[in-house]
Chains A and B, each alone.
Chain A
Amino acid sequence: MSEWWQGFLDDFTLNFIDGNRWKFLVSGLGVTLEVTFLSLLVGIFMGTIVAIIRATYDKQYQEMRPGFGKSLFGIINGIAKVYLTVIRGTPVVVQLLIMYYIVFASSNNKVLIAVLAFGINSGAYVGEIVRAGIMSIDEGQTEAGRSLGFNFVQTMWYIVIPQALKNVLPALANEFITLLKETSVSGYVALQDLTKAGDIIRGRTYSAFMPLIAVALIYLVMVMFFSMLVGKLEGRLRNSDH
């Protein structure tokens, strides 16, 4: 037993203490959180726009007066649909690689590239979440807004979207948790996130167990922590009407 313990300590020292290797994990964690958080912002932004387009199309297109506006809107809706299909129909790693080697071939700002790739990816999923949120808001809210004289966009912005986002807040928080794990493929574009940090240590010490289990534990603790927050949030939202 004490032999095993000694081995464990040696392994631990080798992987984390020697050469201050624990610093890889700390800075990797920082990158992971940064990319996740910024990606979520991009995702919510893109997702909300797509959701507005899709929900407007479903609710309003039939009623719109024929003309240039209607045709243009048909095209915009088509673009949104293509976006959803392509993003949800291809692996996120491939999207990340395309973003790195093709779209931003000339740039080396890896965080920015990762944020855009994951954000655009997330937007497709957030879009469907927010769309469901918009659809869940009573038609009477839109009618009340329009009858006061607000145009469609104002009605969405002041009245429907705030309520829709509030309703889907837990789902958006879950998207954050999904993203947290999804960004672990950032190493494909040589971004040193948490996963990559563990892998770097493994490469230096030729010992896989410690660094990889440590990385897994850090993810697990974060996911459990954020899941707990989501649970609390849900409880709070359930108890308030406004």
Chain B
Amino acid sequence: MTTKDGSVLISAKNVEKHFKGKKNTIKALDGISLDIKKGTVNVIIGPSGSGKSTFLRCLNLLEIPTGGQIVLEGVDITDPKTNINLHRQKMGMVFQQFNLFPHMTIMKNLTLAPVKLLGKSQQEAEQKAMELLKRVGLSDRAEAYPSQLSGGQKQRIAIVRALCMEPDVMLFDEPTSALDPEMVGEVLEVMKELAKEGMTMVVVTHEMGFAREVADQVVFIDEGHLVEQGTPEDIFEHPQSERLRSFLAKVL
């Protein structure tokens, strides 16, 4: 886990992602630069289709940018010579659809990667997993299968699965959008805890309340461009651009 010391953990430099279609090219990202500082919570907002997910997925190269660079702890991970698998271990990711492994118990979901990739013993991995399960209040579900859990429980497990790899940064892509309203709170609560502990986070979300309360930096993306960035106060109380103002008028 990291602490705030103002140093940059991830630096996105002029990142471009163009999807080539049959007829036209979609410029999902058209030159976005952004620094993610250690120990900060960064919330990305913007209209549907603006490129938020694409940007987040470029950070761990689930999408390979068609231009620009992603520098993680001083290493250019967009360079084809870097071993992206090693760097992904340090970047946990949480998906809208949870993506737990349905054929494994929760415990197996949590320990597979630490055992196979970090070389931990099964016992060591289980100990760590149990510790984290307790913190999200799900220690009694270790032997259950994902299909036996509610959406909110699944997403808390997905967060724990990423944390078991002891990442330096956590990426969240709309972690509460697939949840029934009454389950949103329990997941946001876990994320707030994480933020309090100093985890570096990049969160794409429509939960403006979360952004206001927890974010150190809010980033507004529209049509593949970074339009505005600043503190929650800057963004929500003093929006500069017309595009941000009209976006906020719609969502708030």
What is A's interface to B at a CB cutoff of 8 Å?
A: 63, 65, 67, 138, 140-141, 143-144, 146-151, 154, 158-159, 162-163, 166, 241-242
Q: Contacts A141-B101, A149-B165, A163-B103 given: A242-B95 contact, CB under 8 Å?
A: no
Nearest CB in chain A: distance from B157 CB, A: 12
**Once bound together, how far apart are the Cα atoms of A150 and B161, in whole Å?**
13
Q: Which of B80, B113, B146, B161 has the most CB of A within 10 A?
A: B113
- Give A148 to B88 CA distance when docked, in angstroms: 6
Q: What residues on A are CB-neighbors of B85 within 8 Å?
A: 146, 149-151
21 contacts between A and B (CB under 8 A): A63-B64, A67-B80, A138-B99, A140-B95, A140-B97, A144-B101, A146-B88, A148-B112, A148-B162, A149-B85, A149-B89, A149-B117, A150-B113, A150-B117, A151-B85, A158-B116, A163-B103, A166-B103, A241-B147, A242-B145, A242-B146
In B159-207, the 8 Å CB interface with A consists of: 161-162, 165
CA distance A150 to B112 in the complex (A): 10
Q: Contacts A140-B95, A148-B89, A149-B86 known; A65 to B80 CB distance under 8 Å?
A: yes
Residues from chain B with a CB closer than 8 A to the CB of A67 are 80
Bitwise, B140-154 to A at CB < 8 A (1) or not (0) is 000001110000000
Q: Quote the shortest CB–CB distance from B83 to chain A (angstroms).
A: 9
Cross-chain contact of A242 among B102, B113, B162, B165 (Cβ < 8 A): B102
B91: interface (CB < 8 Å): yes
Which of A143, A149, A159, A163 contacts B62 (CB under 8 A)? A143
Q: Could you tell me if B116 and A154 are in contact, using CB atoms closer than 8 angstroms? A: yes
Contacts of A154 in B (CB 8 A): 116
Taking CB atoms, residues of chain A closer than 8 Å to B93 are 143-144, 147
Q: Which of B60, B101, B104 is most buried by chain A, counting CB atoms within 10 A of its CB?
A: B101
A154 and B112 CA atoms in complex are apart in Å by: 11
Q: How far is the CA of A141 from the CA of B161 in the complex (A)?
A: 13
- Beta-carbon contact of A148 and B102 below 8 Å: no
Nearest A residue (CB) for B101: A159
Do residues B99 and A241 form an inter-chain contact, with CB atoms below 8 A? no
Considering only residues 45-100 of chain B, those with a C-beta below 8 Å from chain A are: 60, 62, 64, 80, 85-86, 88-89, 91-93, 95, 97, 99-100
